[in-house]
Amino acid sequence: MVRRHRGQHNRLGFSLQLSTVRYLGTFLADPLDVPTVVVDFLAEQLEIADPSCVKSYAERQATQWEHTAEIRREFGYRDFADAADEVDEFLAARAWTRVETSKALFDATVTVSRWAVVRPFLPLLAEAIPFGATPAGQPVLDAVAELPELIGRKKVRISEIREDLVVGSWRKLVTAGEDLEPGCVDKHAYALCVLEALHRALRHREVFARDSKRWTGRTG
């Protein structure tokens, strides 16, 4: 699908759009507004020697729109507004059959939708991208490495997760679901919690990508 596009900058730009919509659940207004490591990784997969060529992708907005439309058609993606009625029906049905607060219903909906987007990227995060960490970030990196194996299980016990990462509102989502067996956790909510901790650690430079090329500083 990617290789049907002409020009390295178009193939790399298309890959960025495809990756971000699957990971974030939306297309970015600026397709190049992504971490350097993502550009470098995709360029390596596509055998593109100079990732900075992607700068040319920003020069023609019509191409970006065409690629967005192509990805929507190929994968059946829709705007949330187009599926709003289906979400309303889901929430209404759950409200009639379960005793939950409005916040709990919202949290459940967000967790389900975010997990569907994030799941394909766990092997990439855990295995393909060479991360390093400071002592403060190492527990987060270890938790990310453990996710694929934990997610593959039918049940995950609280003793098997890194509880120190489950803070704030995540604690209730991870450990207090009404359908959970005693001593077990919601593995999907835990995965999202760990990924949020990874995002935080990356911002604070407690976790970093090893040998990342700084494509934004190149010319060409």
| pLDDT tens per residue, range 182-209 | 999 988 889 888 888 888 888 888 887 6
| pLDDT tens per residue, range 119-152 | 656 665 556 567 788 999 999 999 988 888 887 7
**Whole-prediction pTM value?**
0.49
CA distance 46 to 40: 10
Tell me the percentage of the chain whose pLDDT exceeds 70.
69
List beta partners, residue 133. Answer: 207
In this prediction, residue 213 carries a pLDDT of 46
Residues in the chain: 220
Is 93 a residue whose pLDDT tops 70? no
Distances (CA, A) of 199 to 55, 79, 141, 144, 196: 24, 25, 11, 11, 5
Long-range (24+ apart) CB contacts under 8 A made by 108-116 are 111/173, 111/186, 111/188, 111/189, 111/192, 112/188, 113/25, 114/25, 114/192, 115/188, 115/191, 115/192
